[in-house]
Copies of this chain bind each other. A is one copy, B any other.
Amino acid sequence: MKLFSSVNDVKDVPVLVASALQLKQNPYAHQHLGKNKTLSLVFLNPSLRTRMSTQKAAMNLGMNVIVLNIDKEGWALELRDNVIMNGTTVEHIREAAGVMGEYSDIIGVRSFPGLKDREEDYSETIFNKFVEFCKVPVVSLESATCHPLQSLADLVTIEELKTTARPKVVLTWAPHIKALPQAVPNSFAEWMRRADVDFTIAHPAGYELSTDFTNGAAITHDQDEAIKDADFIYVKNWSAYEPYGSVTGGNEDWMLTNDKLEAVAPNAKVMHCLPVRRDLELSSEILDGPRSIVIHEAGNRVWAAQAVLKQMLEAL
């Protein structure tokens, strides 16, 4: 694998999921692959789970890791082409990415969307420039529109914990006070469509995701109907795709509670990519109770990252 930016970069999804679960059983068996290889993790935005789990995955594989909070520790990056750099940016992404490629065998990049210009965000210009100019394999640590390491970990978690051959999986919108990216729901939708699951998306009117990601999924505005008899409920807020980045407020009743679950989905396991705002997005009673698998799910981020890095190391 030379690029891991979406599910479309994966040749065989079930094989990758199986590899992650095997690595979980035997984490240190492939340290020869990473010996004297360097993974550089480049952050333009905050990160807790991705930062730690990807470091851990790389170290499990025997790799060296360099972490760079590029805007804080390096230089303010210019991301646009064809500008005279006489303002506040000091280094162009073309040079920054090119140089990082010289020091790295694999690079991970995190770069969030601006949520102002949909065309710019959805063309993934920043992430794609990194890929183009660094000239080494690149793992997305969440880009403007996708978070594939999260979705792989989510699918690994579902595979690991499912009690039926074809579980019912529901992605439900949740309330928030800020405009959040669509990266996690986009990715979750496109990964679920490649998995052997019964998949439904529920959100209030106005929060339709791009059909590039949801195409073929069942979509409803009725949360109760959607989650009925669900095996896994994935809770996540996102801002509107149209008008892009908008949030209408309201819809507080979309916050999942134990009452709702007991009424229609008593056996559902509840997932969230984290960070989660308690009692705004998701109730504390669920997070602190037996239905929540969010910590377990976050733990699986290691094995998802390790499976991807392993395939990249094998292809070097």
The complex places the Cα of A15 from the Cα of B191 at a distance, in Å, of: 54
A75 at the interface (CB under 8 A from B): yes
Q: Hey, what's the 0/1 contact readout for A51-75 against B, CB within 8 Å counting as 1?
A: 1110110011000101011101111
A91 at the interface (CB under 8 A from B): yes
A187 at the interface (CB under 8 A from B): no
Q: Which of the segments A3-11, A98-106, A140-148 contacts the partner chain?
A: A98-106
The complex places the Cα of A277 from the Cα of B104 at a distance, in Å, of: 24
The complex places the Cα of A51 from the Cα of B275 at a distance, in Å, of: 26
Which residues does chain B contribute within 8 Å of A90, judged by CB atoms?
Answer: 275, 277
A49 at the interface (CB under 8 A from B): yes
Min distance, Cβ A119 to any Cβ of chain B, angstroms: 23
Q: Which of B55, B82, B103, B287 interacts with A53 by CB under 8 Å?
A: B103
Q: Hey, what's the 0/1 contact readout for A252-288 against B, CB within 8 Å counting as 1?
A: 0000000000000000000000111111100010011
Which residues does chain B contribute within 8 Å of A64, judged by CB atoms?
Answer: 56, 59
Are the C-beta atoms of B56 and A98 separated by less than 8 Å? no
Which residues does chain B contribute within 8 Å of A103, judged by CB atoms?
Answer: 52-53, 56, 299, 302
Min distance, Cβ A258 to any Cβ of chain B, angstroms: 16
Which residues does chain B contribute within 8 Å of A299, judged by CB atoms?
Answer: 99, 102-103
Min distance, Cβ A87 to any Cβ of chain B, angstroms: 8
The complex places the Cα of A202 from the Cα of B308 at a distance, in Å, of: 50
Q: Which of the segments A38-46, A155-163, A220-228, A239-247 contacts the partner chain?
A: A38-46
Q: Which A133-152 residues sit within 8 Å CB-CB of chain B?
A: none
Q: Hey, what's the 0/1 contact readout for A231-252 against B, CB within 8 Å counting as 1?
A: 0000000000000000000000
Which residues does chain B contribute within 8 Å of A296, judged by CB atoms?
Answer: 102
Are the C-beta atoms of B73 and A69 separated by less than 8 Å? yes
Which residues does chain B contribute within 8 Å of A81, judged by CB atoms?
Answer: 284
Are the C-beta atoms of B91 and A68 separated by less than 8 Å? no
A122 at the interface (CB under 8 A from B): no
The complex places the Cα of A177 from the Cα of B98 at a distance, in Å, of: 24
Name the CB-closest residue of B to A101: B295
The complex places the Cα of A99 from the Cα of B287 at a distance, in Å, of: 13
A92 at the interface (CB under 8 A from B): yes
A164 at the interface (CB under 8 A from B): no
Min distance, Cβ A31 to any Cβ of chain B, angstroms: 9
23 sample A-B contacts, Cβ–Cβ < 8 Å, listed by A number: A27-B36, A38-B59, A43-B73, A47-B74, A48-B91, A48-B99, A51-B74, A52-B100, A52-B103, A52-B104, A83-B278, A84-B278, A84-B279, A84-B280, A85-B277, A86-B280, A95-B287, A98-B295, A99-B295, A99-B298, A99-B299, A102-B296, A102-B299
